[in-house]
Structure 1
């Protein structure tokens, strides 16, 4: 028997022993499960459970697909660029959808312009958002999450992650109060009541957030009495209005006089533009690392729209961006994602659907071309980095440090897509875990319990690590 045949025989033995079934008995009745484990060494499937051609919500594992498309389509030198130009008496601030543009970056640009001798804007300011078009929120984003920062709108005009901070305090008289930093031009009203634990449980009252026009937020419901304030984070609802107010405040701080109007959109007949200042984002690789490790939705969705803009040579949108992702991957890899349903590039939409088999194909291509792509190197490591650092099923040996993967969860779905490592820390297997329709029974007492999904994952990942580290070297 030659060496390759011996490896295959051993793999068959291991797969029979370790992967007869994933531990689905740990999950509540009614859960849908599809798992796939493949040896990278022999291209052999060593475990396949459920229908790998059935469509599942990929959640944030979709970011692996978005990252692959970005690496295949955008040049290595790609960076988002924000420009301030002068057009006659007007200023034109051309936004590119930079998801990492910060307040201080705009301030530094104004400071540079002031240092160059310009202390007055004699006309209007145009906020040029023409690089993107269409919805700022994808179809299928949950309405009840639109006020939280992971649902921040995907806009060409983006600053500080389109996210603001505040804090809420409980008062002895049963009321609450909110503190908003002065530099954040939003309004937050609280109608929430301060209650005891007994009152909260008996009334089934929770803290609720509603959003309104003009970046007006209302907090309602109940909050347990607490000694320290509860930190809050809100997604900006009207990005153009928010950035308009931020810019006017920054101009005042830098001593640049402005009495005109802030206008939104592309200025027509702008004539010859004079570049006053520019700012570039971090490199594509740096952004992808942040996107994958911290599961940053805004980076993923603004990159998606950028891919639509770059590929189709028109303003980017969720529609042409997701279409571009499919076309880019098929043209470069031969992986056919035509059956997949993509509403965004982040995985936040509940309308997204993808098969286990397609995700496995993407993972294999990434591994086969890692020397050019460098994507595995920037994905989270179990128990050590990113969104996997504190995941309960990955904190301990043998899983800790021996799996590199991207997690993903939306309501009722718990997914993972990545690689099991060998004893030398090299990818040896790829795996996909899609769990949907997961609705465990709610606890009725205060006794600590291990969630069913944690029980499932702990056993499943241990199997992957044991198998990956048992494979003989070629």
Structure 2
């Protein structure tokens, strides 16, 4: 991927174009063979699919030759049987917001991890890219309390430094033993989000708590962090009495140490590169707190909706979000909305604020990211030519595959795309290969 940013050299209009104005550009419809969505949705057992408009693929008037090739090829490739009968997609020209191509772009489908784009946008907007989360240690009445502050990047090495500081204070006070407890009261009690399967815990995500170390999945990340802290204290020559317990620090407790997380921008980049569910759910709660809302699924998702609609003018039509990670099978987001969120990255007004989303998007073929070769992405004849030239957020759930991002097309202009598939019975690897091919088509790879 070229290091040049999507906004380089662009002369963008003063205000984002509304969806209604975008639609006004669409004047020619090209029917797709086979009636998409004509069969009952495979998602009916989860939640009914909401849709706007008619079932069709369209291309806008006034396309340049490169854009016309994109539209023509997507009209053909979107009929691939691997995509099933419930597919939504859109391609925008970032400079003009012209719709280059769309297919059921207003249909709300399970976005899977594409939902993390909404979470990241709200977190950066409310908290700011430079924001850091604080983990504290306080002392009172013979007890050291480790207080969680929502730092998902906290490591054993960080707790070691906190333990050294706390141990020095304990010894200075003439003590040689203490009790240890954790305070994770910053967040409400962990709960399953609507649409989460119970099996997600300790597999896809941990119960959401404000204290965790080394990003480990476990039933109680706070107690686990407390145990690591207690061990580090012991290594410093301080005896820990009894087991690590849970409690709430007193206002009269004395501060003995604190650790600041990396900047939020770094946390966001890690979340997107790895598609980290735990980081997403923690950021959802910290964003809620930053906006004065309860640190719950409901509080966080309300702030996401408010930020997207009120700050950026993104339509909330058919938008239903119940968590921060996209694990919820009740989540429904149109491809149009996902593209509109990504389109913010190309707007100079928001470039500084949202830069880490752009930088955090996995790049096709980037090892260690969710688009890396270890995941079998962009490794077919239809997509390998786009390695290093497409950056996009992946999304994968049982019955849902999504890929949304940006690429510089043959005409040298940045295109924003979103492709979301739900309910296909094809092999997931084959679906991903097909979706990767769609993204490569937008880039301008040979047919």
Task: Output the TM-score relative to the length of structure 2.
Answer: 0.76
* Structure with the greater alpha carbon radius of gyration: 1
Alignment correspondent of 2:372: 389
Alignment correspondent of 1:177: none
1:140-161 CA-partner distances (Å, limit 9, x unpaired): 223334232x322221121221
What SS is found at the alignment partner of 2:387? coil
TM-superposed CA distance for 1:30, in Å, is 4.2
Alignment correspondent of 1:310: 290
Alignment correspondent of 1:336: 315
Q: In 2 relative to 1, CA 464–246 (structure 1 residues): closer, same or farther, beyond 3 Å?
A: same
For 2:427 and 2:245, locate their aligned partners in 1 and report how far apart those are by CA, in whole Å: 52
Alignment correspondent of 1:253: 235
Q: RMSD over aligned Cα, in angstroms? A: 2.8
User: Of 184, 188, 194, which aligns to 1:129?
Assistant: 184
For 1:133 and 1:109, locate their aligned partners in 2 and report how far apart those are by CA, in whole Å: 25
For 1:39 and 1:102, locate their aligned partners in 2 and report how far apart those are by CA, in whole Å: 42
What SS is found at the alignment partner of 1:342? coil
User: Of 112, 123, 126, which aligns to 1:70?
Assistant: 123
Q: In 2 relative to 1, CA 298–313 (structure 1 residues): closer, same or farther, beyond 3 Å?
A: same
User: Of 414, 417, 433, which aligns to 1:428?
Assistant: 414
For 2:145 and 2:96, locate their aligned partners in 1 and report how far apart those are by CA, in whole Å: 56
Contact 1:403 / 1:419 at 8 angstroms: preserved in 2?
A: yes
Q: In 2 relative to 1, CA 18–329 (structure 1 residues): closer, same or farther, beyond 3 Å?
A: closer
User: Of 278, 281, 289, which aligns to 2:258?
Assistant: 278
What SS is found at the alignment partner of 1:398? helix
Alignment correspondent of 2:33: none
TM-superposed CA distance for 1:300, in Å, is 0.9
Task: Output the TM-score relative to the length of structure 1.
Answer: 0.72
Alignment correspondent of 1:11: 63
What SS is found at the alignment partner of 2:320? coil
Q: Is residue 321 from structure 1 mapped to residue 375 from structure 2 by the alignment? A: no
User: Of 440, 461, 466, which aligns to 2:439?
Assistant: 461
Q: Is residue 26 from structure 1 mapped to residue 26 from structure 2 by the alignment? A: no
Alignment correspondent of 1:171: none
Contact 1:382 / 1:389 at 8 angstroms: preserved in 2?
A: yes
For 1:287 and 1:22, locate their aligned partners in 2 and report how far apart those are by CA, in whole Å: 39
For 2:64 and 2:400, locate their aligned partners in 1 and report how far apart those are by CA, in whole Å: 31
Contact 1:415 / 1:434 at 8 angstroms: preserved in 2?
A: yes
1:100-127 CA-partner distances (Å, limit 9, x unpaired): 1122221221122324434747664341
TM-superposed CA distance for 1:76, in Å, is 3.7
For 2:95 and 2:265, locate their aligned partners in 1 and report how far apart those are by CA, in whole Å: 27
Q: In 2 relative to 1, CA 46–317 (structure 1 residues): closer, same or farther, beyond 3 Å?
A: same
Q: In 2 relative to 1, CA 236–158 (structure 1 residues): closer, same or farther, beyond 3 Å?
A: same
For 1:313 and 1:138, locate their aligned partners in 2 and report how far apart those are by CA, in whole Å: 17
Alignment correspondent of 1:448: none
Alignment correspondent of 1:266: 248
Alignment correspondent of 1:172: none
Contact 2:223 / 2:244 at 8 angstroms: preserved in 1?
A: no
Q: Is residue 157 from structure 1 mapped to residue 139 from structure 2 by the alignment? A: no
Q: Is residue 38 from structure 1 mapped to residue 92 from structure 2 by the alignment? A: yes
1:24-78 CA-partner distances (Å, limit 9, x unpaired): 34334844111101112332111111x2222111111111111111111103431
For 2:361 and 2:89, locate their aligned partners in 1 and report how far apart those are by CA, in whole Å: 20
TM-superposed CA distance for 1:307, in Å, is 0.8
Q: In 2 relative to 1, CA 265–319 (structure 1 residues): closer, same or farther, beyond 3 Å?
A: farther
For 1:352 and 1:301, locate their aligned partners in 2 and report how far apart those are by CA, in whole Å: 14
1:341-352 correspondence to structure 2 within 5 Å: 341-352=320-331
Alignment correspondent of 1:57: 110
Structure 2: tracts of 5 or more residues without a match: 1-24, 26-59
TM-superposed CA distance for 1:82, in Å, is 0.5
For 2:166 and 2:83, locate their aligned partners in 1 and report how far apart those are by CA, in whole Å: 63
TM-superposed CA distance for 1:441, in Å, is 6.2
Contact 2:142 / 2:178 at 8 angstroms: preserved in 1?
A: yes
Q: Whose strand fraction is larger, Structure 1's or Structure 2's?
A: 1
For 1:93 and 1:427, locate their aligned partners in 2 and report how far apart those are by CA, in whole Å: 51
1:143-191 CA-partner distances (Å, limit 9, x unpaired): 334232x322221121221x2xxxxxxxxxxxxxxxxxxxxxxxxxxxx
For 1:22 and 1:41, locate their aligned partners in 2 and report how far apart those are by CA, in whole Å: 26
For 2:384 and 2:424, locate their aligned partners in 1 and report how far apart those are by CA, in whole Å: 26
Alignment correspondent of 1:237: 219
Alignment correspondent of 1:146: 201
